[in-house]
Amino acid sequence: MNQEMNGFESENHQERVQEKIDYVFKVVVIGDSAVGKTQLLSRFTKNEFCFDSKSTIGVEFQTRSVTINGKVIKAQIWDTAGQERYRAVTSAYYRGALGAMLVYDITKRPTFDHVARWVEELRAHADNSIVIMLIGNKADLEDQRAVPTEDAVEFAEEQCLFFSEASALSGDNVDKAFFRLLEEINGVVSKKALDCGHVKSNGGHSSNLKGSKIDVISRADLEISEMKKLSTCSC
Ligand SMILES: Nc1nc2c(ncn2[C@@H]2O[C@H](COP(=O)(O)OP(=O)(O)OP(=O)(O)O)[C@@H](O)[C@H]2O)c(=O)[nH]1
Ligand SMILES: [Mg+2]
């Protein structure tokens, strides 16, 4: 893991890296209203949390530059309202997105039950190589848990998603989850570039991009750990 991945970067660092950005990765944050999308974004980009956050209206994005495998990557993270009536977007919001944070609230079962619908929306509107990270937010509210971690792990396995529980309030796993997503996007982008080179050099036949791994942050220690490689994964 790069040094920049271990903590929140200073403004100086941000200014320095802005001068030489290798890639800009667009990431969208989706999920039901009030699951904590805006606060996760705020924690990752500004290391801030607001208790009385208002529902997002329209679309906004924030950025944070990080270094992954020696490349300076500017994560441009888009946020919109979870509530249907405020969502003036669909295709435009997803256009060009390389990654998605799909958030539910571990204390509100319906927000997890709706995750399948959000995945469908992603599959319908986003590029099919988009990397998806499922996030069970509000992990600090363990005593109010309504979604067992195992249910989310099972769903993530079925759908070939990365998975993590996190807390925008405490900050637990927020950086780790975003970095994991950005690392994976970086891998996809590098592979695409290689495949393009391959196509150019041999005149055709590049392999399709395939998801290969599920990462899970366990409830016990909230650490990202590698899980089994899925042999049945079809994505
Ligand atoms: N305890 C706890 N509360 C959280 C956490 N994240 C967000 N909240 C609270 O949950 C409420 C909703 O958070 P938002 O970030 O505004 O939710 P949202 O998903 O952006 O909602 P919409 O913009 O309406 O789609 C706020 O009162 C936050 O303070 C968390 O990790 N733990
Ligand atoms: Mg919001």
Cα→Cα distances 76→57, 59, 65, 114, 202, Å:
18, 13, 9, 25, 34
Question: Quick one: pLDDT at residue 58?
Answer: 86
How many other β-carbons are positioned within 10 Å of the β-carbon of residue 133?
25
Residues 6+ apart with CB under 8 A from 31: 37, 82, 101, 102, 103, 104, 111, 114, 115, 118, 135
Q: How far is the CA of 42 from the centre of ligand 1 (A)?
A: 10
Question: Quick one: pLDDT at residue 109?
Answer: 98
Residues 6+ apart with CB under 8 A from 82: 30, 31, 32, 33, 34, 35, 37, 56
Q: How far is the CA of 155 from the centre of ligand 1 (A)?
A: 23
pTM of the model: 0.82
What are the tokens at 152?
A: 């989310």
**pLDDT, tens digit only, all 235 positions of the chain:** 443 444 455 566 656 555 689 999 999 999 999 999 999 999 999 999 999 889 998 899 999 999 999 999 999 999 998 887 666 567 889 999 999 999 999 999 999 999 999 999 999 999 999 999 999 999 999 999 999 999 999 999 999 999 999 999 999 999 999 999 999 999 999 887 777 765 555 444 433 333 334 455 444 334 333 332 333 344 4
> For a substitution probing ligand 1, which of 30, 32, 33, 38 has the most ligand atoms within 8 Å of its CB?
38
The amino acid that residue 190 corresponds to is: S
Closest ligand 1 atom to the C-alpha of 42? 15
Q: How far is the CA of 60 from the centre of ligand 1 (A)?
A: 16
DSSP for 198-232, written as a single string? HHHHHTS-PPPP-----EEE-TTT--EEE-PPPSS
Question: Quick one: pLDDT at residue 229?
Answer: 32
Cα→Cα distances 218→42, 143, 225, Å:
23, 16, 7
